[in-house]
Structures are given as structure tokens and as C-alpha cells.
Structure 1
Amino acid sequence: MDTFLLQASIYLLAAVIAVPIASRLGFGSVLGYLAAGLVIGPILGLVHETGDLQHFAEFGVVMMLFLIGLELEPRALWDMRHKLIGLGGLQISVTTLAVMVAAMALGLAWQPALAVGLIFALSSTAIVLQTLTEKRLIQTSGGRSIFSVLLTQDIAVIPMLVLLPLLAVGGGGGASLSADGSIDRTHADDAAHHSMSLVEGLPGWGVALVTLGAIAAIIVVGLYLTGPLFRFIHQARLREMYTAFALLIVLGIAFLMILVGLSPALGTFLAGVVLANSEFRHELESDIEPFKGLLLGLFFITVGAGISFTTFLAAPFVILGLTFGMMALKGVILYGLARAFGLSHSDRWLFTLGLAQAGEFGFVLVSFSLQQNVLTGALGERILLVIALSMLFTPLVFMLYEYLAPRLQGESTRPDDDEIDETGPVIIAGVGRFGQIVNRMLQSTGFKTVVIDHDMETIQLMRRFGFKGFFGDPTRPDLLHAAGIETARVLCVALDDRKSTNTLVAYARRLRGDDLHIVARARDRTHVYELYQAGANDIVRETFDSSLRAGRYVLENIGLTEYEASEAEKTFFHHDRMTVRELAKHWKPGVAAADNPEYIARARELEKELETALLSALDSTGRTGTDD
């Protein structure tokens, strides 16, 4: 018990120190966890046996796929079938064959070469999806394509486990791979004798029936029993019972999948999809999320701690050459598939760089291959190290993509800008979800607008609904002159990009002086200060008005009349406008508000003035306090 508590304290301390540092430096949490594992494992030697802990931590991957399933309706999954079968299937088969040929060229027989190809065809579901989510890339076309391939790979693990025993090149004895990369043959036979299985010894048709029965049971329980059970638990009015039930669903399904020889991650993903339309979906998400994050972090730490420096130092250039060679070979195949399936230029590189590593299921396949005598011990150790190193490099590869993405988008094939042949009193730069409302309101009132946006899909969508817009970069001076910037009365800047917004406002103010009224969209309060300095007249924070309206509704439902709540809303609005203009005088570019004493002092004074103004407004309506 003392040893367990010591080891747990070491893991948690390493995570608490490394992850915040990595996140603040822009490296992301995954690299922080991996670095923490490297420090406490191979470097300092504070932890040694990570194999058992890694099996426990792998439930983080299982929970992650359950949560992903909750976000996908069955119809959405059906819509992905072409990418699942086509893109995912081609990636696995082509990569397997290519790696197999390369391994045979290095002197391996075809059986172990095929096993190596299957192992390296897989990518890291845990690292890739976690990083995509953190960097908000999961909803891009490249991110969705990556998810499709990862899901296909998780499914493909099942037939791979069936195929590997047929590749055995010798008899007798199995071997397993310990967490530090060494070969452990002492427990392989015992594990085989004591494994629990519902399909062991059954004929092929029996295995198929049991497997289908397990999947059907998951669907039936998800559709018909989860709701009544949740309502039964609700009667207890205990928060921990919800958490216990959510964990029971995930762990129970994972155990059932193991009993029938399927991937537990695949089973929980299926359960998540079944429950995607459930009224308890959000409750399940909130209960599982903390466990998923902690177990995933623990999994990444064990990967870092399991890297064998002894094996690496014995042949560092060989190991690095194999790692980079494998990633380069996969990258070439992935890029070719991305082109074949029509991904955009930047999405191709996200798809290529995101899937070029090996994955955590590779550890499972290596261990199983050793047990079945498909791979030798020395080869297994090297493969394990290549897998771990490629996973370690993955967060760095995503950082490379973030650096290259703006340049890749600039180099991508882009249609020519439209020739603007109209002018009007109002120019709207950017017609996304913000600018389109402004445009519709003006046109419905009878005013002519000239709309410019750099997103061709948005412009084409506008045209289908009967609204005219011009494709082009609104910050280009020649397009602005063609749109009539010299004679326009109002410029509305509704661009998504913060830097482009500031650039356009500053240029228009220099060009027209005080003759042009500039209305600009701001992301946050700091952006408001930047736009004031650039010369904007009216600045709208994109969520401010909707937040005011929500606040008014809250006031109406906790005791204020509609009139009183409206007066409070108006008072807050006018005071906030005055406050922002006042604080803009004290704001200093590049200096955090917390490090600016003049800004903080004035903000406190203005907050007291707001309280006084709100009380006065309520007093004027005849209200002297809150309801008892």
C-alpha cells in the first residue's frame, strides 16, 4: 500500500508540474504528460514497472471513444461510411503492404514483415484525438477525415488479432513485452490459462453468434434500459450515484467486449452512438469527462516512462532512422490518399502529419505477436521503442502544422477575386454569422450594401438565397477602392480574424479621417481597446448584447418586473460603454491588466459607480430592494 501511494504521488506530482508548463509554452498537455513520464521513468528512474498501470490507464482511451460516440448520432456515423470504408480501409491496407515490403527489404521474412506492417498501419487514437480537440481542429475537414481513419483502425484491430497467430514461424512458448521494453516469458502461459472468454473453444459460427449477441445486448440496453435505470437512480438524489452508473456503463461494456474478444474501445464507442439521442447524454458526458482526462493523462505518462533508454542507446541512429523512416513512409501514403479523396491543401497536411505515428494498439499487437512467436524478442523491443518515440514526436508534429498552416492556406489553389462593379453607402467586410445579420437588417430596411468576404463558400451560399456578395480579401486596398471606400458613409468590419480587423480599421481611418463612420466587431474587451486605438467609432463585442439579454431574462425570473429588468439592462449597457472608453485610456498594449495598477484602480472605481447607477435606476422605478 505504501509503495502504491508513493508511485501515485510521483505520477500526480509529475503531471501537475509538467503539464501546466507545457501548456503555457504552447506545447499542449499531451507533450507535457509524455515529458513527465520521460523524467520520472528513464531519466530519474523513480518508476519502473508501468505495464499493469498502463493497462489500467488505457481505460482513458475507452472513455474517450465513449464520449466521442455520444457526440455522433447514428445518421452522422452512416454519413461517414465512405470515409470509414474507403479512406480508412485504403490507409490500413496500403500502409501494411508498404511497411511489409520495406521490412522484407531490411531482411525480415514475410511473416514477421507482415506483422510489422499491421502494427505500424495503426495510429494513436489517444494522442491524436486529444490534440485535435485541444487545438480545435476536430471539426475541420482534415480532422473529421482523421477521426474516420482512427475509428477504422480501432475496428481493424480485431481481424489483426485473428490473423497474427497464423503468421507464427516457430512453436512453443510465448513472450510478452513489459513496460520497459524487456521480454517477459514467465507469465504468458499463466495468463493464457486464466483468461476469461465467452468464445473460447467455440466453432466459428458460435463465436459469430456470441459476438453479435453482445453487440445486440449493448444496443438494447442503451435504447430501452438506460432511461429507466437513470430515472430510478435519480430518486436517490445523490450525485455520486450518477457517476457510479456512468462508470458502470463504460466499464461493463468494456468487460463484455473483452469476453467476446472485441476491442473495448469499439464497444464503448458503439454504446456512445446508441445513447447520442438520449435525454441523459449531457449527464453522462459530465460524469465521465474528469475520469477520461485523468486516465488519458496517466496513459501518456506511462508511454513516456516505458521508453527503454538501454535499447535506444544501444543503437540510437538505427532506432531514430526506423522511427523517421516509418513516419515518412506513412506520410507519403497519407498525403496521396488525402489528394485522392479531395481534401484541401491545408487539410491534406493536417491529415498527413496527424496520422504519421504508430499507436497505442501497437503495444497490444507487439505483445500478442511475441506470445504467438511471430516476432523475436530483440525485434519486439525495437518496434516498441519506435512506437513510443513516434508517439512522443506527434505533439511536435502538430506544432509544425500550426506553424505551416497559414502558409499552406496561402499557397492553396484559390479562385481569383471578384471584380467589384458596385458601390454603396455601406461596405460590409466579412459576412459570417455576425456580418450576415447586419447585412440582412440593412437590406430589409432598403439600404444598399457592398459585401466583401474571403470565403467563397459563404459568398456562394449568399447568392443562392438571393443576396449579392463579392469574393475577395477585404483588407486589400484595391478592392476597397473598387467598392467605393472614398464615398461610403459607413464601414462595418465583421471579420473573424483579429489582426485583419485591426489592419482594415486602421487603414480606413488613415484614408478617410473623420469622414467615415467605422463599426467593428471585437472578440473581447482587449480587442475593443485595440480597435479604439486603430480608430473605430462603434465597437460591438460579439457576445455582449446576447449576454445582456440573457441577464435581463434572469432578472425577470428572480423577482424584477419586465420594466425594472429592462431599465437595469439599459443602465448596464450605457455604463459599460462609458467604462470601456474610460479604461481604454489606461490600457497599455502588451501589458496584462493584472500588471497595470492604474487600470485596476480605475476599473474598481467604475465598478462601484455601476453598483450605484443600478441602485438608482431601480429606485427610480419604485423598487428599493430585492424580494424576500
Structure 2
Amino acid sequence: MEAHHGLSMTREFAPLLGFALVFVLLFRKLGLGATLGFLVAGAVVGPEVLGIVGDAQNKLVIAELGITLLLFLVGLELSPARLWAMKRDIFGFGLAQVVLCGIALTVLIAYYANFSWPAALALGLPLALSSTAQVLPMLQSAGRLRTPFGERAFSVLLFQDLSIVPLITIVAALSRNPADAAGPPGWQLALYTVLAVTGLILAGRFVLRPLFKLIGNLGEREMFVFAGLFTVLASAAIMEAIGLSTALGAFIAGVMLADSPFRHELEADVEPFRSILLGLFFLAVGMMLDLGAIAERPVFVLSMALMLIATKAAVITGLAMLFGTAWRPALALGLLLSQGGEFGFVLFAQAQGALLIAPEAASVFGAIITISMATTPFLMMFTRRFRAEPAGEGAEVRDAPRHDGASAIVVGYGRFGQTVAQMLIGQGIAVTLIDRDVQMIDVAGTFGMKVYYGDGLRVDLLRRAGAEDAELILLCPDGNEVDAEKLNQIHEAFPDAMVFVRAYDRRSVMKMHGAPVEGIVREVMESAVVMARKAMAAVGVDPGEIERTEQEYRDRDLKRLKLQKESGDLYAAREVMFSQNSKGGNVSVHSDEAVAK
């Protein structure tokens, strides 16, 4: 029986992923984004068209973990201090958007669709919510999430997630189902929310950070993946147990770890799971699209979707302008958030269980949400020129990324990396520090230095640390682990960054031969030259002779190193080295260590 079940899963997911691959590549090529590709692929492969894959509801339950992981990653980007700085947009703009859009859509549904007021309220309030799962990836891919525009959009989306609690309470209060009378009152649900959030904050500080520190000391990268997923699922499960938003729990857990040294490692490890599950979520939404409901009432569905988009776009644009946004970015924000959201499906199901709406209404308005989500890429594409700021007048400055990221990344914060980082910081260059030694990270923290945990030679971790925006990447790890292959990968991923490398010895330099780097520095070379100069001066050697000797040594060393790299032979050009015989002595020292320096 289990083998049959596994075979069924294989037969379903193979075509599902295959169709997703084709449609996502096609829609990305057309500039329409991945979300629309997933939605169309799900509709085509689902029961309404080809009927190859079924059971969309169960797949949606699994795929909702993608939204949870997305909010966790967003939380990791926002420290509590930065979140507090956004409070006006979250609790001012966000509250006004949900209330005004919810009221406007409720009135529209009551009069246009001729629903009762309780039913219109149960449909209109969920439609006020936008799609976090669609908007945030669009902002990330466009590089606008950390801009003032992106942060304002995120503030609205965050309040929408917070509003799940009062919306659930409103639907429960309107319920016509006697079974709902036994549910907790609204004040009790609010108290549970405060207690759950407080518990997650305390757990993040006193449980999660020590746990990740222990894993870092053990050096088990796989356990970071397990611990990261456990953090997300446990926080989501706590929220789900009291009937709240699972995504909100994951977001809070992310915020609690945003200031921890393990942030970038967690981002790099969790990101692949987020991408896969979020894609599966939109596939499942596409599969659930009720084409029959659309075919029965095409004019109503399409006109309602159009009115939903127009109403939300108008209200959000107006509010954005009231909150100080220029009209062009305000319009862009209104269009970006004009669609219905994934939490609408959840609230429609609750309204159906509360006997406020019929199953047919839930299907029709679910189709309206899906259509509105499908229109967003088209709206953003077709209005791009109209929304674009005119040249001059500081247009680029208003939406420039916030410069709180790194312009330099120093990998390895040992004795060598500390000096490099200190000098850069002394020049006012913003630096992100990465190291794998948890004890070193703790010691650095006592001196006020923020060092992130992780393997800084991993491209995915460098990307999470901001390498795409960095001007400098300085690789200063202990040992002999940097080679040409890793350097080529880093250069290919971040071609605009200048890469400098600390080399342990000549063998290290030979391993990097041909790599696209700006400079390689042997760790003891310069200090040894300084000591030799001081020693010669101490015994009375003429300063001119000291300069001549240093220059001759450097010329010989460079010639020898070039021949060694070309031949791959550590012992090449031994005759170029200074020896006692070359200066009138009788001993030549060519030990393996001497040759390797």
C-alpha cells in the first residue's frame, strides 16, 4: 500500500513540476514573473483542464509552509529597532488600508452582488488583504525590498497579517453556526496572541540563540538546516494551536534572530525550502481555480475582479499620498497591492463554516482572488513607463536602497582579518564580518563588533550577506582553503565586487593561479620584510642598501612565484632565491618550508 502511495506521489509531482518549469521559464522570458507562471501551470495540469494532478486542497495545506518560511526570512531582515522605526507605516498606513478597503469592498459586494450585510462583511474584509506571497518575491527580485517604497509595501502587508486575529474574531461573532458559540471570545483570543508573541520573544532570546551557538561550535552545517526548519515550524505551530496566523509566528521568530550572528547562515539554509514550497503554493492555487464557476457567471466574476483591483488601487494610492508619498510611487504601491491575498481562501472557508456564505460563493470569490493575482504582473508591466519618475529632481534618490548594507565583506575575523576590517572601518567603509569560529564571534561582540556566523566561501551565504551590493570582498580565512575554483564561483556570482585574498603561503598562491582576483597577499610577507629592514638598520646597513636589497628580493620573489604558478612545481626556480653562496657565504638553505614561504 505504501509503495503504491509513493508511486502515486511520483506520478503526480513529476508532471506538476514539469509544467511549472515550462510555464515559469516562459512567463519570466515574457517579463510577467514566476507567480503567474505557477498559477497558469496549476490551472492547466489541475482537474479543471488536463486533470493530470488532483487533491489541490491537501497540496495547498503543505504548500502554505512556503508563506511561513517567507515571513521567517523577512523577519530575519528586520531587527526590532528597524521594525520600531516603521511603526507609523505599520499601524497607521496599514490600519487605514485594511479598514477603508474592507468597508469599501463590503459596500460594493452588498449592493452589486446583492449579499446580506453579514455575508458581504465576511467577503469584503478578507478581500482587503493583499498577497504577501506574491508581492514580497516581486520586490525582492526587483531589488526594492530594502528601499523606502519596499518597506512601505511591507509595512502594509505586515499589518494585514496582524489583522488576521480581529478578522477571525469578526467572522466568529457573525457566525450563524451554533457550534461556533463554544469558541473563545475575542478578548481571550487577543490575550492568547499577546502571550504567544511574548513567549516567542523569550524563546528566541533564551532558547534559540544558545541552540544555534551550540550547533555552530559543533560545526554541523546540516544541523543548522534542521534547527532552522524546527524554529519556523515550532513558532508556526504555536500560533496555529490558538487559531492565529502561522506566518505571524514565523515572522516573530525571524525578528528575534535578526540581530543574531547566525542570521545569514539561516537565510542561506532556509531559502531553498521557501522557494520550492512557495512555488507549490501558487501551483495549488492555480489547481483550485474553479473554471466552472467562472463559466457560469463570467461577467460577474470578471467585473468583480476588476472592481476589486480598481477599489484597492484607488484607496491605497490615496492613502499613500496622504502619508507623504509622491503620486507616481503611490500609484505603483496601489497597483502592487491591488490583488486579493492567500489568506482570503482561509477566511472564506471559515465564513463558509460559520454559515455566512454558501460553498458556491466561496468558489466564485476564490476565483476572483486568483484572477486578481494573475493581473498584477500585467498591471506592473503595462504601467511601468507611466509610473516611472521623470529624470532629475532626485527621482532616483527617493527610491534608492537604504545604505545600511555592506560595501565591504570581510570573511575570516582572525588576527589578519581584524586588521583589514579595522583599517576599512577607520576610513568610514561599512563592513560586514563573517567567521565560522563561534568563540571568536563572542569575543568580537565584547569589543562591540558584529560578526556573523557562516562559511564565507559559500556563494549563497555571501549573497544573503549583501555581496551583490558590495564593492569589496576580502577573503581572510585561516589555513589553505581558498582555491581558483571557489574564486571563480564568487567572481561569476558577484562580478562587480573586487576580490582580495589572504594566502597562507606560496602553495596557497599556486592554488589560486588564474583566478579573477584583484590582489593576493601572503600573510607573513610584509611583516617579514619590515622585520628584515629593522634588523639591517640595527647593524648599520646604509638606508640606500636596505632599499636596494628589499627591491631585489621582491623582484626575485615575484619572478620565482610566477614560474612556480605556471609550472605547478613548488621547487621551480630555486636558483633565483638568495643563498649564502650568492653573497660570498658557503651555505644555501632550501628546506621545504623555506621554499614554500
1:229 corresponding residue in structure 2:
211
2:16 corresponding residue in structure 1:
11
Deviations 1:6-57 (A, max 9, x none): 1122222222222223223322222221121122123212123201110110
Distance 1:387-1:23 versus aligned 2 partners, 3 A rule: same
Q: Does 1:373 align with 2:355?
A: yes
Letter in 1 for 2:32: F
Deviations 1:374-408 (A, max 9, x none): 11233222111101111122222222243444xx3
Task: Choose the corresponding residue for 1:260, options 242, 245, 260.
Answer: 242
Distance 1:235-1:342 versus aligned 2 partners, 3 A rule: closer
1:342 corresponding residue in structure 2:
324
Distance 1:207-1:353 versus aligned 2 partners, 3 A rule: closer
Q: Does 1:384 align with 2:390?
A: no
> Structure 1, unaligned stretches of length 5 or more?
173-188, 194-199, 416-431, 438-522, 524-542, 572-610
Task: Choose the corresponding residue for 1:138, options 116, 135, 145.
Answer: 145
Q: How far is the alpha carbon of 1:234 from its aligned partner?
A: 4.2
2:105 corresponding residue in structure 1:
99
Distance 1:202-1:389 versus aligned 2 partners, 3 A rule: closer
Distance (Å, rounded) in 2 between the aligned partners of 1:340 and 1:209: 33
Distance 1:400-1:613 versus aligned 2 partners, 3 A rule: farther
SS in 1 for 2:498: helix
Deviations 1:599-621 (A, max 9, x none): xxxxxxxxxxxx98974999789
1:38 corresponding residue in structure 2:
43
Kept in 2, the 8 Å contact 1:101–1:113? The answer is yes
Distance (Å, rounded) in 2 between the aligned partners of 1:558 and 1:128: 49
Q: How far is the alpha carbon of 1:329 from its aligned partner?
A: 1.1
Kept in 1, the 8 Å contact 2:90–2:155? The answer is yes
Deviations 1:450-477 (A, max 9, x none): xxxxxxxxxxxxxxxxxxxxxxxxxxxx
Kept in 2, the 8 Å contact 1:346–1:412? The answer is no
Distance 1:404-1:235 versus aligned 2 partners, 3 A rule: same
Distance (Å, rounded) in 1 between the aligned partners of 2:367 and 2:94: 25
Deviations 1:48-81 (A, max 9, x none): 3201110110110010000000010101100100
Kept in 2, the 8 Å contact 1:88–1:152? The answer is yes
Distance (Å, rounded) in 2 between the aligned partners of 1:374 and 1:612: 82
Distance (Å, rounded) in 1 between the aligned partners of 2:236 and 2:227: 14
Matches within 5 A, 1:230-245: 230-234=212-216, 237-245=219-227
Q: How far is the alpha carbon of 1:252 from its aligned partner?
A: 0.7
Distance (Å, rounded) in 2 between the aligned partners of 1:211 and 1:231: 29
**TM-score normalized by structure 1?**
0.63
Distance (Å, rounded) in 2 between the aligned partners of 1:291 and 1:620: 52
SS in 2 for 1:43: coil
Distance (Å, rounded) in 1 between the aligned partners of 2:497 and 2:127: 50
2:73 corresponding residue in structure 1:
67
Q: How far is the alpha carbon of 1:145 from its aligned partner?
A: 1.2
Matches within 5 A, 1:611-626: 615=566, 622=576
Distance (Å, rounded) in 2 between the aligned partners of 1:157 and 1:149: 13
SS in 2 for 1:54: helix
> Structure 2, unaligned stretches of length 5 or more?
396-401, 408-470, 472-493, 521-561, 578-589
Kept in 2, the 8 Å contact 1:141–1:343? The answer is no
Letter in 2 for 1:279: P
Kept in 2, the 8 Å contact 1:60–1:294? The answer is yes
Letter in 1 for 2:97: Q
Distance (Å, rounded) in 2 between the aligned partners of 1:557 and 1:25: 50
Identity of aligned residues (%): 33
Kept in 2, the 8 Å contact 1:125–1:150? The answer is yes
Q: Across the two proteins, how many residue pairs are aligned to each other?
A: 437
Q: Does 1:122 align with 2:73?
A: no
Distance (Å, rounded) in 1 between the aligned partners of 2:324 and 2:300: 36
Kept in 2, the 8 Å contact 1:363–1:384? The answer is yes
Matches within 5 A, 1:578-597: none
2:455 corresponding residue in structure 1:
none
1:409 corresponding residue in structure 2:
389
Distance (Å, rounded) in 1 between the aligned partners of 2:282 and 2:496: 42
Distance (Å, rounded) in 2 between the aligned partners of 1:319 and 1:412: 43
Distance (Å, rounded) in 2 between the aligned partners of 1:44 and 1:612: 65
Distance 1:558-1:153 versus aligned 2 partners, 3 A rule: farther
Distance (Å, rounded) in 1 between the aligned partners of 2:296 and 2:184: 45
